[in-house]
Structure 1
């Protein structure tokens, strides 16, 4: 199930990611992953949560957004690779928590800050071995106190673990 990877040839990394996604049965949006996203949004107290898989763009295989009666912007099932904070999580292969994105000039200018008014973010990589398949994240329009960072980190890591356990169990694969 693994393909040799060469950092100079990202298509090999994508081929490895695609092979793992196929083995896990992940081919597109799924109601079960939407449920994971909804539960995460509720637990985090935010309007948006995603299970984000990376390919030629970011695709939300699990998505929770505010209802139609909300004044908040709607989010579709895909986003360019350079938008948002999940690309940073993929590159780092580590969770990232930003209680207030404006407190970091590096993140304050991200496109999603203006597009949907993001002020708080927490995301963790979905890892199979050393291969990042995507991320699980939550975002919200209100900043949080810096002291909430540890709780957000624990929550996002737990939900990441829950999703990977679900995917492995469903596919009959040992992690």
Structure 2
């Protein structure tokens, strides 16, 4: 099967909420730099799901920023995601048209892709060829104002049967992180 890279199925969805999201993220003081709390959350998310990569991702009009990131210690810097874990903040950024989190933001619903190659809309995404991503599980971070601030997600370079349990886990973890963000905003953290 051949994929036409200009086909509408492969386009990243229009995100009309992006300007409001950026203003909200700035008010909260998040999404511009890596944070130990978000890295710790990503580590815990990876441990709970058994995924080699996990992220706390905030998205603006043009790019995604991994404020929290977990990558396997065993990898020696061969991928963009692994380089990000080494502390180079430049590698914590990804173009908005790469990956699946922008779809989750616009859909405002969790997304389960056990094998991205099974979905023509997602199989042609640059992360498949450039990074080797084969499975994805992500959920939106919708705050008390109703704005989808970003996502949490886990990915693997192998197909993964996330199933119903994976979906429930990612949704519960997203709710937990939003509560942490709200406590932080309220001065509790």
Length-normalised TM-score, structure 2: 0.78
Q: For residue 24 of structure 1, report the CA deviation from its aligned partner.
A: 2.4
- The correspondence for 1:166, drawn from 162, 177, 180, is 180
Q: For residue 18 of structure 1, report the CA deviation from its aligned partner.
A: 2.5
- 8 Å CA contact 1:66, 1:74 repeated in 2: no
Extract unaligned runs of 5+ from structure 2: 1-13, 82-90
Instruction: Indicate the residue corresponding to 1:61 in structure 2.
Output: 67
Instruction: Indicate the residue corresponding to 1:3 in structure 2.
Output: none
Structure 1 residue 79 corresponds to structure 2 residue 79 = no
Instruction: Indicate the residue corresponding to 1:125 in structure 2.
Output: 140
- 8 Å CA contact 1:24, 1:168 repeated in 2: no
Q: For residue 45 of structure 1, report the CA deviation from its aligned partner.
A: 1.1
Instruction: Indicate the residue corresponding to 2:86 in structure 1.
Output: none
What's the C-alpha RMSD, in Å, of the aligned pairs? 2.1
The Cα offsets for residues 56-95 of structure 1, whole Å up to 9 and x where unpaired, read as: 3100111111226457624120100000011110111111
Structure 1 residue 140 corresponds to structure 2 residue 156 = yes
- 8 Å CA contact 1:65, 1:74 repeated in 2: no
The number of residue pairs the alignment matches comes to 162
Extract unaligned runs of 5+ from structure 1: 1-7
Length-normalised TM-score, structure 1: 0.84
C-alpha distance 103-29 of structure 1, shift in aligned 2 (>3 A): same
